[in-house]
Structure 1
Amino acid sequence: MFSRIFHLALALAAAAPYPSKAESLLPLGGDVPEVLSPLSVQGIRGNVNLELHQQYTIGDPAVKQKTLVEIYKYTSTGSALVKRDTPTPSPPPPNPRAWMPIDLTPAKCTSQVCYSGSYGGPEKTDCDVIVAAQMYNSTGSLVAPAGHYVLVSYGSCTVIFQHPMGKPKYNQVLQYNWAKLGSIILDLQKKCLKPDDQSIGGACKIARYGQYKFHNVVISLQRYIAPATPPTPNQGV
Structure 2
Amino acid sequence: GGSKTAKGPINMKTVQGNLKSEYKIGLNEMVTVRIYEYKNDFNLVRREANVSATKSNLTTIDLTPADCDGAQCYPGAFDKPNTTDCDAVWNAQLYNSTGSLTAFPGTFVYVFSGNCAVVFQNPQNQGYAIQFNWAKLGAVGVKIADKCLAPKTNSIGGICQYTKYL
Same fold by TM-score, threshold 0.5 exceeded?
A: yes
Question: Is residue 20 of structure 2 the alignment partner of residue 56 of structure 1?
Answer: no
- Deviation string 1:171-195 (CA, Å, 9 cap, x unpaired) is 2100000000000111111111134
Contact (CA 8 Å) 2:58, 2:127: kept in 1 or not? no
CA RMSD, 1 decimal: 2.6
Specify the code of the residue in structure 2 equivalent to 1:67. V
- State the Cα distance separating 1:32 from its structure 2 match: 3.5
Question: Is residue 2 of structure 2 the alignment partner of residue 32 of structure 1?
Answer: yes
- Deviation string 1:68-108 (CA, Å, 9 cap, x unpaired) is 0000001139x9xxxxxxxxxxxx65589952321100111
Match for residue 101 of structure 1 among 60, 63, 68: 60
- Could you say which residue in structure 2 is the equivalent of 1:131? 90
Question: Which of the pair has the greater relative contact order for Cα pairs under 8 Å at 6+ separation?
Answer: 2
Q: Distance in 1 between matches of 2:139 and 2:156?
A: 18
How do residues 209-228 of structure 1 correspond to structure 2 at under 5 angstroms? 209-210=165-166
Taking only the aligned residue pairs, the percentage that are identical comes to 37
Q: Distance in 1 between matches of 2:104 and 2:141?
A: 21
User: Would the alpha carbon gap of residues 187 and 122 (structure 1) be closer, same or farther in structure 2, given more than 3 Å must change?
Assistant: same
Specify the code of the residue in structure 1 equivalent to 2:88. V
Which runs of no fewer than 5 residues in structure 1 stay unpaired?
A: 1-30, 80-91, 211-237
Question: Is residue 32 of structure 2 the alignment partner of residue 68 of structure 1?
Answer: yes
Q: Distance in 2 between matches of 1:151 and 1:160?
A: 5
- Could you say which residue in structure 2 is the equivalent of 1:191? 147
- State the Cα distance separating 1:197 from its structure 2 match: 2.3
Q: Distance in 2 between matches of 1:149 and 1:104?
A: 15
Report the structure number with the largest CA radius of gyration: 1
Q: How many aligned positions are there?
A: 159
- State the Cα distance separating 1:38 from its structure 2 match: 5.3
Q: Distance in 2 between matches of 1:133 and 1:71?
A: 16
- Could you say which residue in structure 2 is the equivalent of 1:45? 15
- Could you say which residue in structure 1 is the equivalent of 2:136? 180
Q: Distance in 2 between matches of 1:194 and 1:56?
A: 30
Query: Which one is further off, 37-46 or 186-195?
Result: 37-46
Which runs of no fewer than 5 residues in structure 2 stay unpaired?
A: 44-50
Q: Distance in 2 between matches of 1:199 and 1:205?
A: 17
User: Would the alpha carbon gap of residues 41 and 176 (structure 1) be closer, same or farther in structure 2, given more than 3 Å must change?
Assistant: same
As a proportion of its length, which structure holds more strand? 2
Q: Distance in 1 between matches of 2:153 and 2:54?
A: 48
